[in-house]
Chains A and B, each alone.
Chain A
Amino acid sequence: KAGVTQTPRYLIKTRGQQVTLSCSPISGHRSVSWYQQTPGQGLQFLFEYFSETQRNKGNFPGRFSGRQFSNSRSEMNVSTLELGDSALYLCASSRDSNEKLFFGSGTQLSVL
């Protein structure tokens, strides 16, 4: 069974640009969550989607948004990038909410 797939693996952007990250969950998993990992703040929850609906949202500004498609694949978007958005963005999926999370390897975003 394929794991959680995140693309791209690495990304370099400049301040002010926007970026879209993609996540394909494990087949059969309906919940997709996004986390941001930085050296200073650690792993922080961004949002969770279940059956195309946002179920929970973390404490991030509105520049961070996401969506989930009918095939459970998810994208997250960050607009007007800031230097502080440089981080590893991790996607995780589970069969249902409240179940064991399986993480992808992440997208390393660098904002210059």
Chain B
Amino acid sequence: DQQVKQNSPSLSVQEGRISILNCDYTNSMFDYFLWYKKYPAEGPTFLISISSIKDKNEDGRFTVFLNKSAKHLSLHIVPSQPGDSAVYFCAARFNNAGNMLTFGGGTRLMVKP
């Protein structure tokens, strides 16, 4: 039973445009959500996170939106750059669960010059 799902395995976007990556979850007990980026042959790198008490968090070109009623979060990248081409994972964590994260299956983003 996949508690965190990324339904789009891949996404292609033109450089300079907005990239929107989506993530759905089923367990309402998750209280913290994170996005990681992964390049080939490297480990995931933390991008941005959001607590369940917020609905938006911004960091430079990256914004994460959380819709708790829909159990949905999204990552917006504006403007997209070719260097953003990577696999993006969303992850969720229960309260007091330490570093036990539940990851989605990932979305491969390709930003075309």
Residues of A with Cβ closer than 8 Å to B?
A: 4, 31, 33, 35, 42-45, 48, 50, 55-56, 58, 90, 92, 94, 97-106
Closest B residue, CB atoms, query A88: B43
The secondary-structure label for the interface of chain A is strand
Give the Cβ gap from B14 to chain A, nearest Cβ, in Å. Answer: 28
How many A-B residue contacts, CB cutoff 8 Å? 61
Residues of B within 8 A of A44 (CB): 103
Partner of B99, one of A4, A42, A92, A106: A92
Partner of A105, one of B42, B89, B100: B42
- The CA-CA distance from A4 to B102 in the complex, in Å, is 21
Interface residues on B, range: 20 to 34
Residues of A within 8 A of B101 (CB): 35, 43, 45, 101
Residues of B within 8 A of A103 (CB): 36, 43-45
- Do the beta carbons of B98 and A102 come within 8 Å of each other? no
- The CA-CA distance from A31 to B106 in the complex, in Å, is 25
- Do the beta carbons of B45 and A42 come within 8 Å of each other? no
